[in-house]
Amino acid sequence: MAQYKETSMGAIFQNRALKYGEKAMVAYKKGGSYVDLSWNQMNDLVHKLSWYLLSIGVKKGDRVALFSENRWEWWLSDLAILSIGGVNVPIYATNSPEEAEYILNNSDSKVCICGSNDHLDRVLSVRKKVKKLKEIIVVDTPKGKKPGVLTLQDVLKKGEAYKNKANFDKALKAIKLSDLATLIYTSGTTGNPKGVMLTQSNFVSNVNQIMEGLEEYLTENDTFLSFLPLSHSLERCSGYYLPMFVGAKVAFAESFQTIQQDFVLVKPTCLISVPRLYEKIHAGIVSKVADAPPVKKALFNWAMGVAKANLPYVCKNTKPAGFLGFKLNLAEKLIFSKLKAALGMERLRLAVSGGGPLSVSDAEFFLGMGLMILEGFGLTETTPVTNYNKPWLIKPGTVGPAVKDTEIKIADDGEILIKGPQVMRGYYKNPAATKEAFTKDGFFRTGDIGMIDEDGYLRITGRIKDIIITAGGKNISPQNIENSLKTSAFIEQVAVIGDRRKYLAALIVPAFEELQKWAKKNGIAFSGHQDLIESAQVNAMIGEEVKKYTKQFARVEQIRKFRLLDAEWTQATGELTPSLKVKRKVVNEKYAGEIESMYPEGEGE
């Protein structure tokens, strides 16, 4: 018998903690190996932190900011805030002091929980400008004296001493589905970010929508590996609330840099990721094979041929019989099983790709080996999931049908419009932006362009704000061209340029590891990235790659010129959003000189 009505994520957590008790809920890396934390241990800490927040006067609807990298304490803080009816205001771990200041002020946050000393320092540097902030808590032990700052350990002790402990239960039971749960500030590329208001109902609905049809694929015996930012709704809903809902265990990756070692240690059965990880793994495997002895290379290529023949079967969740079945078993034994074991993916049964388009070649590479990758779609404003491929019908290149209780239609200009219980309440303190985000009949405008096929599967063809309108008036979606170019082993990142220009050009970040190998094989001397990108031979080779991977596009969509860049785009350097999408405006501004050099004498105007 459930203890609480499941009208909030806090209530769902209480019910699962009662059910799973000493079972491991999360695992975190300590001294190079993983340590478990049980449901009971987490619940004990959630109560203590909640009691402390109640003791300092945090009431239903009050905002508590959470400025931290991914760690189990993020979950602890979130569950404590939500369990007493508070509103969690996550701040991306990569945000600057000024961005944090804007979010703290705009949200009227009373308390800020910081993860590391670095996050604490960023908040302290702007504290005087944040008028409503009453208290700062830090998870890590502070370096030196920090007046007015409490450590999480201090706070948990104070919470334990709280006299009115029954108030936790009262607060939790008073939460309604319609209550605000979080304000997620979108990583806007222009102007200040907007605070997306998501309710308890949005999250509870979306978790139930995702689970519809996945009951036999996702259970309490599963293990997730978490590495996407929890401040983003994809990880928050699909990589945290979803496994919590089913009672699965989640292990936290140390960082994206250590992801490969963490995979091998954790051996996850489920994965929530963005396309970037699949791209990197695929490129890494292809690169190693290129350097393998001829026999191994031939064996791998044979196995890939078998994988391709297996695609129609795996996409319908069936297994081939006869000679193909025999070849598949052999390929699994000789190649795929070894490859999966080396990657830490031997137990991986279910993987999700979201947050951006997954190239068909990346999807098919993993699917052919029998790794089920389901591409989906959604936005922060939709909690986020609106669509995903079903395990019994996977269609690479689509994001699947709409989840239950969700209506999707395509506007006359091709924009995808959505209505459903997962759609946000609106933008905080921004009625004008809220009004603009919805049609007159209540559909949310996604800003994405798409089409729906005969199976009801949605195909994303571009993003309205990214559409390039050439000087000749042609509308071109750069995403498809960029995805195709990234299939090249020598191209890591790319941004297609050409708005109001006579032709398309591209900024290309090479895959330097591959490029260095190629340069050595071809006797090209270099001492660093700059030498490589200036080499005539390198530019000629990349030019051939560009032609090869764009030959299927119309003449107007061909890349006429390109410039190679000497450093990868990252969040830290400002070109990528937290979900690893390219910030086109930033790239256009940062590389204005390189762009203009591809359009001499105003040629593109």
Q: Is 298 exposed, middle or buried (0-12, 13-18, 19+ CB in 10 A)?
A: exposed
Q: What is the DSSP letter of 393?
A: B
User: From CA 361, how far away is CA 253, in angstroms rounded?
Assistant: 26
User: From CA 85, how far away is CA 448, in angstroms rounded?
Assistant: 34
Four-residue CA torsion sign, 193, 507, 366, 375? positive
If one looks up domain 274-464 in CATH, what number appears? 3.40.50.12780
Q: Of 167, 199, 154, whose CA–CA distance to 9 is shortest?
A: 199
Question: How much is the pLDDT for 604?
Answer: 42
Ranges of the chain with pLDDT below 70: 1-2, 187-191, 602-605
Question: How much is the pLDDT for 2?
Answer: 62
- Phi, psi for 328 (deg, rounded to 5): -65, -45
Question: How much is the pLDDT for 348?
Answer: 97
Question: How much is the pLDDT for 375?
Answer: 97
Same CATH fold, 274-464 and 9-272?
yes
If one looks up domain 467-602 in CATH, what number appears? 3.30.300.30
Question: How much is the pLDDT for 602?
Answer: 53
Question: How much is the pLDDT for 283?
Answer: 86
Question: How much is the pLDDT for 605?
Answer: 40
Question: How much is the pLDDT for 8?
Answer: 97
pLDDT 10s digits, 404-460: 999 999 999 999 999 999 999 999 999 999 999 999 999 999 999 999 999 999 999
pLDDT 10s digits, 124-182: 999 999 999 999 999 999 988 899 999 999 999 999 999 999 999 999 999 999 999 99
User: From CA 472, how far away is CA 106, in angstroms rounded?
Assistant: 43
Q: Of 399, 380, 397, whose CA–CA distance to 388 is shortest?
A: 399
Rg (CA), the chain: 25
* Cβ neighbour number for residue 22 with a 10 Å cutoff: 10
Question: How much is the pLDDT for 188?
Answer: 56
Domain boundaries, the chain: 9-272, 274-464, 467-602
Fold of 9-272: Rossmann fold (3.40.50)
What does the block give as tokens for 238?
A: 């699909």
Query: Contact, 90 vs 66, CB < 8 A?
Result: yes
Q: How many helices (H) and strands (E) does the chain have?
A: 23, 25
Task: Please report how many Cα atoms fall inside a 13 Å half-sphere around the Cα of residue 515, on the Cβ side.
Answer: 30
Q: Of 223, 193, 239, 221, whose CA–CA distance to 70 is shortest?
A: 239
Residues counted in the chain: 605
Residue holding tokens 């209550």? 179
Q: Of 471, 470, 495, whose CA–CA distance to 482 is shortest?
A: 495
3-state SS class at 418: strand
What does the block give as tokens for 60?
A: 């239903």
The partner residues of 496 in beta bridges, in order of sequence, read: 506
Task: Please report how many Cα atoms fall inside a 13 Å half-sphere around the Cα of residue 479, on the Cβ side.
Answer: 23
Q: Of 439, 438, 424, 278, whose CA–CA distance to 362 is shortest?
A: 278
